[in-house]
Structure 1
Amino acid sequence: MAFRLDRRHFLALVGAGTGAAALAACGGPDTSGGSASSAAADLDFKDVKPAASIDFWTSHPGKSQDVEKQLVDKFQAANPTIKVNLVTAGANYEEIAQKFQTAQAANSGLPGVVVLSDVWWFRYYINGNIIPMDSLIKQLNFDLGDYRDSLVKDYQYANKQWAMPYGRSTPLFYYNKDHFKAAGLPDRAPKTWSEFADWAPKLKAASGAQYAYMYPALAGYAGWTLQNNLWGWGSGWSKDWDITCDSDDAVAAMQWVQDSVYKDKWAGVSSKESADDFSAGIASTTISSTGSLVGILNSAKFNVGVGFLPGGPKSEKPVCPTGGAGLGIPSGISKEQQLAAAMFIKFVGEPENTAAFSAATGYMPNRKSADMTQVLAKTPQIQTAIDQLAVTRVQDNARVFLPGADQEMAKSVAKIVTQQGDVKSTMSDLKKTLQGIYDRDVKPKLK
């Protein structure tokens, strides 16, 4: 690909995690029409008074509905002239995206605050659907220096801030401590997938579980979590804007994944939610979001262990991808609503509130000064997720910035691991598809 964009000017993505219980990625908004420049115009909020009412669109990531309601009530107590309507805008990020697209097309019914996942926010930027928050951040005195730097940078482009971090996480390796003990295995996550492949037969034989490992459900999770395998084998979905999913290393990684299911027969593929399969004892291990942590701990009837993601034959670390959700403000609403929305976003991000959200879900505390003492006393496993922040890696452009790419990745992985399709030809076909998305929908809109 001849076109290049300096990654540092594109996005400094070095933070934590994705997505909560379900990150479905089927269809969603297109990238036709609009431009980011229109959203950036005329954003002086001097003398603007906040609106009396705004809607907050969310999918309650990490089963966060109860804590979100508490935050809304707490905000309204502190700001009695502003009513925030908590709206379940979908069961997952993709459904919110569909609803947001419909509202954009109708030019009505837009929320004040909308949850934006890692694979959706950039298309809103290039369509001009969200505003840069810089003037609001300055006017409302957001303490950006106290936010975890990498999480704030996740939403920066063209020297502007397009959203603020909300439900941020890293994927974790979950394991059944009781099964590991029965198999005579060390009480830790495997350091590499090769090590786990040695453990898997013993684990399956001793535990009585159907699978030693359960791959996460493919819709929404395949493109995200399998970056771990691709990076460990020395490749990725892409390198900058070069699509690399058909490289020899990428094919080798995906062949290993297929073999774990069909040839070696110790791995399965979740049909809906691997965290639930793991909690039910169907599988001895899985990879899932830290946003699933509290739910797993509450539902599992066994001792749960967590650890860093395993490495591969060419790279043991960093092989843990970033991801998750932020909060953005639509461009098609009044300044009064935008100001009220920014006030709510600031409130949600206050140290004590991000600590409460983390305690309820397992997501990252977005503020450096958040007091996690009580949270960690109750759920010490969250410390592992915080520690893994130091060895996370920015996601591949192809996964997070190409509209619909996550869906195409899921289709290709499904062909490989549920239909035993030829790995090399499947990955080659995927490259052609991803290249077409870039050439058609992204490259023309990048300045």
Structure 2
Amino acid sequence: MSKTLSRKHFLGLAGASVTAVALAACGGPSTDAGSTSAKALSAEDWSKVKPAPSISFMSSHPGKSRDTEQKLIEAFQAANPDIKVNLITGGSNYEEVAQKFQTSQAGSEVPDVVVASDVWWFRYAVSGAILPINALLKAVNVSSSDYKSGLIADYEYSDQLWAVPYARSTPLFYFNKDHFKAAGVPERAPKTWEEFAEWAPRIKSANASASGYQNAYQYPAIAGYAGWTLQNVLWGQGGGWSKEWEITANSSQSVAAMQWVQDSIVKNGWAGVSSKNAITDLQAGAISATISSSADLAATLKAAKEANMRIDVGFLPGGSAAASQVCPTGGSGLVIASKTSPERQLAAAKFVTFMTNAQSTSTLSAATGYMPVAEAADISAIVAQTPEFQTVVDQLKETRTQDFARTFLPGGDQELAKAATRIMNEKADVQATLTELKGTLEAIYNKDVKPKLKS
């Protein structure tokens, strides 16, 4: 599996068949768009289309942003009084939204705009469930260059743009400065995981007597987070889930990295795995450090202030092989459904570009901790109010594109989580587990991806 073609070299598959059976077999709901596929790529003269008077927006309200989203909708409607937006709660997470979006495909009504995570937009694109938006952006006088280049580029494939960045994040290293002080270690994020491994026993020992205290470090809940955050540890050791389309999950570097993870839990005993929400454990004082999305920044700092607790954030630690470029981006973009009318699609384009313009993205960032996605966004006021937000902005310069195995293999993220569960919770043999994972991922690639690559 050495083919190194990028996602931009896929065939134009919006009308092709990444079938419901294939996607469902890989652990996620299908988004097969059937007969709407041809329409998705058809040339529309948008200058002759009048925006619809009403559209719907399905969201999981990432970063607990429902109130903020509603305020942005009200601002959009004030600026566009002829268009009403109906906000739909599609679920509490991206996967629940994806399931509802899929279910809607069987009926005559689908949401016009949908929040799509980094592991879902690509499936929507190849199945024809969403519309390429290059022409739509031009129709509403917005350019892809209006967005941060490192974020908008994530949504390009087959020479088309399929989403605009919305609630985009990076993982951050969150830590309790009081716990670090009690242990006599520097009150900062560690530069490498090796450095933190030296600190961790002292941190746990110094705080063990506190009521409800558990560990010096808590890995995020595996479901939804393992494939994302563990890339950091893998990259720092020179490994990874994949290198473009080559699966490297069982390389010597990847095995060493995941063995280190298992040892931190089982052998050395200073780390644990959250069953639900590690950031909540941190806010409760039960742990001393964790990794979580930058979207949790505002809520975490607020909770810490109320509890008279000093919580800070820093860059993700590096490793023995790499000290920088070890942080993945993540989060979601906004996509436009293909199974709607041109009138609704044009209104949707006006809406998604409003929701992601300089002012709107700054509003969302201030309320949550998500990165500002517009080039023109002024974050000075946010940083003045929340100095820790500067870390989010600075770390963006050090990010790295996620491994294809997570973002572009249908169901790949679920398979990564299964392997992580066995290694971290069930004490499974690391080499054997990652070798099995490689076989599973390669089978997905050979069945559902490789046939669609240009030779």
Bin of the TM-score, shorter chain as denominator length = over 0.9
| Partner residue, 1:248 | 252
Task: Map 1:177-216 to 2 at 5 A.
Answer: 177-208=177-208, 209-216=213-220
In the alignment, the residues of structure 1 paired with residue 258 and residue 28 of structure 2 have an alpha-carbon distance, to the nearest angstrom, of: 26
Preserved CA contact (<8 Å) 2:249 2:435: yes
2:326 pairs with one of 305, 310, 319: 319
In the alignment, the residues of structure 2 paired with residue 2 and residue 203 of structure 1 have an alpha-carbon distance, to the nearest angstrom, of: 44
Q: Tell whether 2:312 aligns with 1:305.
A: yes
Q: CA deviation at 1:115?
A: 0.5
Q: CA deviation at 1:147?
A: 1.6
| Partner residue, 2:68 | 67
SS of alignment partner, residue 46 of structure 1: helix
Runs (4+) of structure 1 moved beyond 6 Å? none
In the alignment, the residues of structure 2 paired with residue 83 and residue 6 of structure 1 have an alpha-carbon distance, to the nearest angstrom, of: 39
In the alignment, the residues of structure 2 paired with residue 348 and residue 73 of structure 1 have an alpha-carbon distance, to the nearest angstrom, of: 11
In the alignment, the residues of structure 2 paired with residue 364 and residue 82 of structure 1 have an alpha-carbon distance, to the nearest angstrom, of: 27
In the alignment, the residues of structure 1 paired with residue 316 and residue 407 of structure 2 have an alpha-carbon distance, to the nearest angstrom, of: 20
Q: Tell whether 2:56 aligns with 1:55.
A: yes
Question: Structure 1: any 5+ residue segments left out of the alignment?
Answer: 11-25
1:284 pairs with one of 280, 285, 288: 288
| Partner residue, 1:414 | 421
Q: Tell whether 2:350 aligns with 1:343.
A: yes
| Partner residue, 1:398 | 405
Task: Map 1:118-133 to 2 at 5 A.
Answer: 118-133=118-133
SS of alignment partner, residue 172 of structure 2: strand
In the alignment, the residues of structure 2 paired with residue 132 and residue 378 of structure 1 have an alpha-carbon distance, to the nearest angstrom, of: 38
Q: CA deviation at 1:414?
A: 0.5
Aligned length: 431
Q: CA deviation at 1:143?
A: 4.1
Preserved CA contact (<8 Å) 2:244 2:403: yes
SS of alignment partner, residue 173 of structure 1: strand
Q: Which amino acid aligns with 2:415?
A: E
SS of alignment partner, residue 240 of structure 2: coil
Preserved CA contact (<8 Å) 1:165 1:326: yes
* TM-score (norm. length: structure 2): 0.92
In the alignment, the residues of structure 2 paired with residue 441 and residue 54 of structure 1 have an alpha-carbon distance, to the nearest angstrom, of: 33
Preserved CA contact (<8 Å) 1:30 1:403: no
Q: Tell whether 2:387 aligns with 1:383.
A: no
In the alignment, the residues of structure 1 paired with residue 143 and residue 376 of structure 2 have an alpha-carbon distance, to the nearest angstrom, of: 11
In the alignment, the residues of structure 1 paired with residue 57 and residue 358 of structure 2 have an alpha-carbon distance, to the nearest angstrom, of: 20
Task: Map 1:130-149 to 2 at 5 A.
Answer: 130-149=130-149
Q: Which amino acid aligns with 1:166?
A: Y
SS of alignment partner, residue 55 of structure 1: strand
Q: CA deviation at 1:164?
A: 0.3
Q: Which amino acid aligns with 2:381?
A: Q
Residue 31 and residue 437 in structure 1: after superposition, are their counterparts in 2 closer, same or farther (change >3 A)? Answer: farther
In the alignment, the residues of structure 2 paired with residue 37 and residue 246 of structure 1 have an alpha-carbon distance, to the nearest angstrom, of: 40
Residue 342 and residue 334 in structure 1: after superposition, are their counterparts in 2 closer, same or farther (change >3 A)? Answer: same
RMSD: 1.6
Preserved CA contact (<8 Å) 2:119 2:406: yes
Q: CA deviation at 1:330?
A: 0.7
In the alignment, the residues of structure 2 paired with residue 143 and residue 350 of structure 1 have an alpha-carbon distance, to the nearest angstrom, of: 11
In the alignment, the residues of structure 2 paired with residue 185 and residue 356 of structure 1 have an alpha-carbon distance, to the nearest angstrom, of: 36
Q: CA deviation at 1:43?
A: 2.9
Q: Point out the more displaced range, 367-376 or 185-194.
A: 367-376
In the alignment, the residues of structure 1 paired with residue 375 and residue 384 of structure 2 have an alpha-carbon distance, to the nearest angstrom, of: 18
Q: CA deviation at 1:134?
A: 0.9
Preserved CA contact (<8 Å) 2:214 2:286: yes
SS of alignment partner, residue 62 of structure 1: coil
Percent identity of equivalent pairs: 58
Q: CA deviation at 1:246?
A: 0.8
| Partner residue, 2:228 | 224
